Structure 1
Amino acid sequence: MWITIKGKHLTVKIDLGRYIPSPDPFFLIFTVNDHLIIGGCWKGELEGDESNVYGFFENLLTACYYFLQPDSPHVQKITKIDKRNIEKEGFQLRGDEVVVYQAVERNAIYYACSTGRIARIYYRNDLLSYTDCPEYKGKHKGVVELPLKDFIEDVLKISREFLEKYAPVIERIIIKHTGEPEGYDYLWESYYEVIELYRKRPDSENR
């Protein structure tokens, strides 16, 4: 059973009906506007990539946490490292990125970047490189931009919906198959940290 969590630009689909015993036990699709960042497409149908769902949301929340603290020495250190990594991936930075955060998934890698006004995502989706869907041919690697404010608000929206509605379901599935809870309290902590930082922004409208 697929569930869908949508923001203004970001959409996440998770298959709750399949579980494989691995570090990435669920199947997930992630799109930003019309860019397929995680997942594949065959015979006209989107298909999920194997994913650690908690880790997926942790990456998005961490990116926002860093975006909201561009002057932090730790964030500057991570940005310096990931700028080197992104160049090794063959991407050409545009020079106005003040924060760069690398997120590694099972068959995809993306770099969430902030210019202070714009969120820019450079991505390479290896699974999509094998697509037979004409609309995705040659689109396994690219860049997508959206307003930084929209990105952060979307991440907060979809993260909260996931944590409230679906994380308990995911946890029950994990316990059923492994006998042990994995726990997701740390995601709530990350969510509230981002909320607190975002509310301090003058353009946040006290959200």
Structure 2
Amino acid sequence: MGIKAFFHVLRTTRRLILISALFFCASIVVGWLSTGTIQSMLTQQVEGLGGVAQRLQNSEHPQWSFFVFIFFNNAIKCVLVIFAGALFGIVPFIFLIVNGMVLGFVVHLQADMGRSMYEIVVKGLLPHGVIELPILIIACTFGLKFGTNIISTIGASIGMKRKGNGPSWKDFLRQTLTVSIWSVIFLFIAAAIESGITYRLLSH
């Protein structure tokens, strides 16, 4: 369960993490270039987030409110997306793509509003994103792995694969628990940075 175990798990899953990262980057490009129906969907997502941000900003202690919301929202979603991967990996795949598209769309929208890329990326995204985005990708990766293991197990049970070739669920669930715990810890740090450093940088 230690940090060494966490990074060992990441090393053993690095190929799938890389594939997830490529899908995420591709979805950012799609979000940046979005038009029509996709643009309408992303606009609704952004407007919803904007409404939440406005309510948090108007609270008695805005930075604390942002921290609590960001941490619990991200932590709950990341843990859920890992275990929702049991539904054949569909949920984490959609979560990965949608979040990438929203990110690309928001960056493009901010650029169109006249903000510099330095302000958007370096001040608004990089401080917390350097932790938050990799954790999002890792969570989705393990959700996808959960789905592929389910498919492999079903395949083995109906004779499509040899039973000995199925996944070791004991090892996988131990790895998943390790990833879940450390994801929450890192998201706590990211939320503290976003509600502290990022909040202050964008307020000036």
Q: In terms of Rg, which structure is larger? A: 2
Higher helix residue share: 2
Q: Which structure has the higher relative contact order (CA within 8 Å, separation 6+)?
A: 2
TM-score (norm 1): 0.29
